[in-house]
Amino acid sequence: MTENFIAYVIFASVAAFTPGPNNVMVSASGANFGYRRTIPHLLGIAFGFPVLLVSVGLGFGQLFTTYPAAHTALKVAGCAYLLFLAWKIGSTPPQNLEEQEHAAEEKQGKPLTFLQAAAFQWVNPKAWTVNVSAVAAFTTLDGYAMQLFYMVLAAIVIGFSSSSTWTLFGQAIGHVLSTPRQQRVFNISMGILLVASLYPILKA
C-alpha cells in the first residue's frame, strides 16, 4: 500500500503540475484577476477533481467500457466547452490589477466561480484520463477503500498546490503586462494554448 501510494503521489504531482486545461485557465485568471479573486476557482478544482476520482473509484469509469458512446459524448462535450473557454480567455478585456482590488464588481471580466470550476472537472478530458489511470494502476483489492481515501487526500493537496503555483505564475506575468496590447496578446496566447491542449484528446 505504501509503495503504491508513493507512486501515486509522484504520478499525481507530475500530472497536476504539467500544462493542461486547469493550469492554463488559472494562469490566465491569475494574470487578469489576481490570486485573491481566483481562489474560488482554485477551491473548485480542489473539490471537483477528488469528487471525480471517487466517482471513478466507485465504478463510474466502467460506464465508458460498457457504453463507448458515452465516452465519445463526454469527449465532444469537453472539447466544445474547452473551445468556449478558450474564446472567453482570448477575448477577456485588458484589466488593471490595482483597480480590481478596489472595484472588482465594475469589471467586465469575471473569474470562474467555485461551482463552475468544480463542474468543469466532469468535462475535463485530462482529469478523466488521470483519474481512470490512477485507479487502475495504483489500487489493489486488499484495502481498496482506504487506498482510495488516501488518494483523495493527496489529490486535494497536490491539486490546490499546483493550481496555486500556476495562478501565482500568471499573476506575476500579469504585473509585467503593462499595456492593454500586451495583456491582449497574453490572453489570446492563453486561449491558443487551451485549444492546443485538445490535441492529445483528439488524437486518442
> 14-61 pLDDT, tens per residue?
888 887 889 989 999 999 899 999 999 999 999 999 999 998 888 765
Give CA separation, 119 vs 10, 122, 145, in Å: 26, 6, 24
Retrieve residue 125's grid coordinates: 478530458
pLDDT digits (tens, 9 = 90+) for 66-106: 777 766 776 677 667 667 767 876 776 665 544 444 444 44
pLDDT tens digit sequence for 183-201: 778 778 877 876 776 665 5
Contacts with 199 (C-beta within 8 Å, 6 or more apart), sequence order: none
Q: Identify the band that residue 142 occupies on the pLDDT scale cut at 50, 70 and 90.
A: confident
